[in-house]
Amino acid sequence: MELLLNAKTLADRLRSAFLVDDRWKLYFEGLKNTLEMSLFAVLIGVVLGFLIATVVYTHKKTGRLKILSAICHVYTTVIRGTPVVLQLFIMYFIILATVKNGIVVGSVTFGLNSAAYVAEVARAGLESVDPGQMEAGRSLGLSYTKTMVKIILPQAFRNIIPALFNEFIALVKETSVAGYVGIVDLGKIPGLIQSRTFDYLFPLLFASALYLIVVCILTLIERFIEKQLSKSDRGNATKFIKGGRKKCKKSKTA
C-alpha cells in the first residue's frame, strides 16, 4: 500500500512538473535560449579569439604590433582571471544596461569570455604549424598577411577543431549562470517550475537530461568531423604515394 502511495505521489509530481499548464514548453524555450546564446557566443569567441591569437603570434614572430599585443595580453589576463558571473553582472547592469534583450547581453558576455580562452587555443594552434610553411609562402611572393590567411590560419584552425568543439560544449553548460540576471535559459527553468510546484526533483532531472543530450550530440558531431578529417588525410597521403609510384615507374621506363 505504501509503495502504491509513493508511486502515486511520484506520478503526481511528474505530472505537475511537465504536463500541468504545458510546463514542458518552458524547458524547450529555455533550451532554445541556451543554444542561441551558446551559438552566438562561440561565433564571437572564435572570431575575436583568432584575431587576438594572430596579433600575439605576429608580435612574437616579427616584433610588430607591440601595443596591440600588450592590450591582448591584458585582455586575456583580466577575462581569464575573473569569474564569468561577475563579468555577466558588469555587462548586464552597467555596460549594456540599456539593452533590453537578455539573450544579446548573454551572448556578448559569454562571447567575450570565450574569446580569451579561444585565443590561447588558437595561439597554440598557430605555433603548431611548421615554421617552414611561412617561409614557403613568403618565398612564393605572398605577403605576410596573405600567407597567414591562406596558409597558416587554415592549418591552425584544422588542428584545433576538437578544442573549439570542447569550448562550445563548455559554453552550453556555462550559460546556466545567465539565470542570475534573469535571463530565462535552460538553467533558469527548474527554479521557475519549483516556484509553482514547490518541488525541485523532476525539473532538475529533466533540465540535466536536456543538457546531457545536447552535449552528447555535440560530441558525436565532433567525432564525425575528426573522422572525416582523418580520412581526408589518409586519402591525400594515398594519392601522393600512388602518384609517386607512377612517377617512379615512368622514370624507370624512360
Domains of the chain, first to last: 21-245 (1.10.3720.10)
State pTM to two decimals.
0.82
Q: pLDDT for 85-99, tens place per residue?
A: 999 999 999 999 999
Task: Using the CB atoms, write b or e for 82-96: b if 16+ within 10 Å.
Answer: eebeebbeebbeeeb
pLDDT at 34: 94
Q: pLDDT for 168-208, tens place per residue?
A: 898 999 999 998 888 889 999 998 898 888 888 889 999 99
pLDDT at 206: 92
**Is 238 a residue whose pLDDT tops 60?**
no
Work out the pLDDT band at 74, boundaries 50, 70, 90. very high
Mean pLDDT value of segment 203-215: 93
Cell of 185: 535559459
Q: What is the mean pLDDT of the chain?
A: 84
More confident residue, 231 or 15: 15
Q: Is residue 53 a contact partner of residue 126, using CB atoms and an 8 Å limit?
A: yes
More confident residue, 63 or 233: 63
Work out the pLDDT band at 152, boundaries 50, 70, 90. confident
How far apart are the C-alpha atoms of 178 and 175, rounded to whole Å? Answer: 5
Which residue, among 143, 120, 113, 117, has the nearest Cα to 57 in the 3D structure?
120
Give the chain's end-to-end CA distance (angstroms, integer): 94
Cell of 55: 596579433
Q: pLDDT for 15-43, tens place per residue?
A: 888 888 888 899 999 999 999 999 999 99
Cell of 117: 580562452
At 165, which amino acid appears?
A: F
